[in-house]
DNA sequence: TTGAAAGCGATACCAC
DNA sequence: GTGGTATCGCTTTCAA
């Protein structure tokens, strides 16, 4: 209701010129401290807030960035978004969220809309670093940073350190005394699946079984059936490729009367809290620090927008292990 | 890289004045059709796109809206967001997403940032319609529409029709022949819990047990324990307050050797697909049509921004039942 | 039918 | 110290 207060209103109210008012607010130019203070006081009294459109027109900075994603359920996007927003809100930057699914036309529409609005940069996020979004973000007039999605060679891409995360999990299983380890994971064509599996194998030994499948609870179930019914040695520690699989594994074990963590310790991947905490017992899992990743991506795109140049390439951020009851004890590392 | 092409560049390229170029593009003024067509053609050839900041400065429309939410996991927000975005992208409107948790200071910062950017309107979303966000959105210079969160009396608020949804579920249980119904739901202090429970009772009869608890799987478990162990008549149909509870109920039933849907049919609420589809058997559940709700909220805020006046008040949008195997058959209603 | 000029709100340079 | 003036990119009267 209060209408919009312009700098002219402020100048009038303070009995100064528009340019003086502007300088007072931005701590520019030379002027009596008293004048500056008075103008600032009046500004807040009458609720003056500069019009970002006008300001952006002049500075060619809009203090907005765009977040492009094809992650429908937002399991990755939301924490990343939270991190971006948290890092950028202090800089007065707001974030456009554009969910484009896998639709190239929709992607283009959103990108164009953002460019029209003069976004200072774009962050592209996906679900896997070995696939790219269905839009071409090369050669845009604004910087682009990638997270969990494939970028151009000359750009900066953030992802989690899958190998390190898998290493943490496997090492922990060994540390708590498990010796017969297995890895139940997603489709082998995911780069992150291969990285995690490789790290698992390095730590657990080449004979430890690795079962590739899909990202679902039912695959976790089925994998347990295979491990238990094929007559081979049964594991006492299972590292799963994500939390959903882990959930399926735990449920299947319970149905077989196998105790978790007593007989078998189980570790997941993602720390998707709403799932991991509801699992019985609550799930020990690898956390990819998505929020922190978002923070870094946000600050990076801002840096680039401000003209800094940075080393392009893939940046792998470390994971942490969140220990809950599914493998005994409780530790945050 | 391509730099930015301004309307001056376009005018120069077409050999006309800036004002003619502008009029050609916006189908304003009178001019030779041939000229207009030529200018438009050249515009697209040289990749001219009008600067939304400049345009917004003049029109005092930024073609942006803000979405404010305190729903951390985004279970409600994301589908609503998808609907908003889908409805508004056709109008050239982009959406700022602001996750403010329950932090009033953060909320204010985000609201101020959006107002500075001259958003055309704000959509406030939450997790329940009987609580408001920790920010005061009354008296803002832009229209505000509420979804799943309490609004001011003079504003428009969207929510799902809990009573109708619960009615659908309960009626369906009766329709498939279940006669001993129970309702396992969340905390009674949620308005939507009471609405659903009331609708359940109307349809199922006043003697049908209603168990209030919390929004978790483990509560679903415990509720089954109570229903089965208290010596009372055991239900053959259970309507749950959300999908997580339903999941807990189904797991508990399986552990007791009770067949779903054979012995007991189970229905959830939310149609949180990633959960409902992974449940064994997949969960029949009430879908609140969140995307459609988002669409309507988006179009509403746009209407208001364009100056239309609408009847304030609460608008309850109908739910639909998504039938999966947890109560037999498969139907979408 | 087309173009010149004013102005949206803010900032920065240059006089005074 | 303070104030006029040009400018950012575009739209919109008003003249020609």
pLDDT tens for A125-169 read 999 999 999 999 999 999 999 999 999 999 999 999 999 999 999
Domain A162-288+322-327 is found in CATH 3.40.630.10: no
**Contact across the interface for A113 and B280, Cβ inside 8 Å:** no
DSSP state of A128: -
pLDDT tens for A255-294 read 999 999 999 999 999 999 989 999 999 999 999 999 999 9
Q: Give the three-class secondary structure for B107.
A: helix
Which single residue has its CA nearest the C1' atom of nucleotide C1? B31
pLDDT tens for A5-55 read 999 999 999 999 999 999 999 998 888 889 999 999 999 999 999 999 999
Q: A248, A232, A234, A247: which is closest to A284 by C-alpha?
A: A247
Instruction: Quote the CA–CA distance of A310 and A173 in Å, as a whole number.
Output: 38
Q: A240, A247, A238: which is closest to A269 by C-alpha?
A: A240
Dihedrals φ, ψ of A255, to 5°?
A: -65, -25
Distance of C1' in D9 from CA in B51, Å: 7
pLDDT at B122 over 70: yes
Are the C-beta atoms of A170 and A199 separated by less than 8 Å?
A: yes
Q: Find chain B residues with C-beta within 8 A of A278's C-beta.
A: 216-218, 244
Give the one of A1, A72, A106 whose C-beta lies nearest to B141's C-beta. Answer: A1
Q: B324, B232, B235: which is closest to B277 by C-alpha?
A: B324
**Can you name the residues that pair with B69 across neighbouring β-strands?**
B99, B125
Q: Sorting pLDDT into bands at 50, 70 and 90, what band is A231?
A: confident
What percent of chain A clears pLDDT 90, i.e. is strictly above it? 92
pLDDT at B212 over 90: yes
Q: Sorting pLDDT into bands at 50, 70 and 90, what band is A251?
A: very high
Over the range A188-198, which residues count as b (16 or more CB within 10 Å of their CB) and which as e? eebebbbbbbe
Q: Find chain B residues with C-beta within 8 A of A2's C-beta.
A: 139, 141
Q: Find chain B residues with C-beta within 8 A of A115's C-beta.
A: 49
pLDDT tens for A51-97 read 999 999 999 999 999 999 999 888 899 999 999 999 999 999 999 99
Q: Where in chain B is the domain with CATH 3.40.50.2300?
A: 59-160+290-318, 162-288+322-327
Q: Find chain A residues with C-beta within 8 A of B49's C-beta.
A: 112, 115-116
Q: Which nucleotides of D are covered by protein (CB under 7 A)?
A: 1-5, 7-14
Q: Sorting pLDDT into bands at 50, 70 and 90, what band is B31?
A: confident
Instruction: Quote the CA–CA distance of A152 and A145 in Å, as a whole number.
Output: 9
pTM beyond 0.85: the answer is yes
Kindly report the average pLDDT of chain B as a whole number.
94
pLDDT score for B73 = 82
pLDDT at B329 over 80: no
**CATH code at B59-160+290-318:** 3.40.50.2300
Which single residue has its CA nearest the C1' atom of nucleotide C7? B58
Residue B42 to chain A, least CA–CA distance (Å):
18
pLDDT tens for B284-305 read 999 999 999 999 999 999 999 9
**Contact across the interface for B57 and A54, Cβ inside 8 Å:** yes
pLDDT at A2 over 60: no
pLDDT at B311 over 70: yes
Chain B residue nearest residue A70, CA to CA: B82
Residue A74 corresponds to which tokens in the numbers above?
A: 């937002």
Residues 30-69 of chain A with CB under 7 A from strand C are: 48-51, 54-55, 57-59
Residue B275 to chain A, least CA–CA distance (Å):
9
Residue whose entry in the numeric block shows the structure tokens 């089954």: B224
Are the C-beta atoms of B129 and B191 separated by less than 8 Å?
A: yes
- Cis amide leading into B267 (omega within 30): no
Mean pLDDT throughout A169-198? Answer: 97
> Quick one: CA dihedral B294, B296, B300, B306, positive or negative?
positive
The kind and range of the H/E element at A140 are none
Are the C-beta atoms of B241 and B193 separated by less than 8 Å?
A: yes
Mean pLDDT throughout A233-238? Answer: 96
Q: Find chain A residues with C-beta within 8 A of B141's C-beta.
A: 1-4
pLDDT score for B75 = 87
pLDDT score for A329 = 56
Q: Quick one: chain B helix, strand, coil %, rounded to 5? A: 40, 15, 40
What percent of chain B clears pLDDT 90, i.e. is strictly above it? 91
Q: Sorting pLDDT into bands at 50, 70 and 90, what band is B328?
A: confident
Give the one of A52, A85, A106 whose C-beta lies nearest to B99's C-beta. Answer: A85
pLDDT tens for B62-121 read 999 999 999 988 889 999 999 999 999 999 999 999 999 999 999 999 999 999 999 999
Residue B69 to chain A, least CA–CA distance (Å):
12
Instruction: Quote the CA–CA distance of B284 and B268 in Å, as a whole number.
Output: 6
Instruction: Quote the CA–CA distance of B75 and B285 in Å, as a whole number.
Output: 15
> Quick one: CA dihedral A289, A294, A300, A302, positive or negative?
negative
DSSP state of A304: H
pLDDT at B52 over 50: yes
């Amino acid at each position: 209701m209060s209408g919009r207060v312009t700098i002219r209103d402020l100048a009038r109210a303070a009995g100064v010129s528009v340019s003086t008012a502007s300088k007072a607010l931005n701590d520019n130019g030379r002027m009596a401290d008293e004048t500056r203070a008075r103008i600032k006081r009046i500004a807040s009294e009458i609720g003056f807030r500069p019009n970002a459109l006008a300001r952006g027109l002049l500075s060619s900075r809009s203090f907005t960035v765009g977040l492009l994603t094809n992650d429908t359920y937002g399991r990755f996007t939301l924490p990343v978004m939270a991190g971006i927003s948290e890092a950028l809100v202090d800089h007065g930057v707001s974030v456009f969220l554009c969910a484009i699914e896998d639709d190239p036309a929709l992607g283009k529409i959103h990108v164009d809309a953002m460019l029209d609005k003069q976004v200072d940069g774009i962050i592209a996020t996906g679900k896997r670093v070995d696939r790219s979004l269905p839009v071409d973000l090369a050669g845009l007039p604004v910087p682009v940073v990638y997270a969990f999605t494939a970028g151009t060679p000359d750009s900066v891409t953030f992802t989690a350190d899958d190998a390190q995360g898998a290493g943490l999990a496997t090492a922990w299983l060994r540390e708590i005394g498990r010796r017969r380890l297995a890895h139940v994971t997603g489709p082998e064509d995911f780069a992150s699946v291969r990285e995690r599996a490789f790290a698992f194998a390095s730590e657990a030994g080449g004979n430890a079984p690795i079962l590739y499948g899909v990202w679902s609870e039912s695959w976790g179930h089925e994998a347990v059936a295979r491990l238990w019914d094929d007559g081979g040695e049964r594991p006492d520690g299972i590292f799963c490729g994500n939390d959903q699989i882990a959930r399926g594994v735990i449920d299947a074990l319970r149905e077989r009367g196998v105790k978790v963590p007593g007989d078998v310790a189980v570790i997941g991947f993602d720390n998707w809290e709403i799932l991991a905490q509801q699992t019985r017992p609550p799930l020990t899992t690898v956390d990819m620090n998505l929020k922190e990743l978002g923070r870094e991506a946000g600050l990076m795109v801002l840096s680039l927008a401000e003209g800094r140049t940075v080393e392009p390439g893939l940046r792998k951020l470390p994971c942490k292990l969140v220990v809950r009851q599914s493998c005994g004890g409780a530790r945050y590392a």
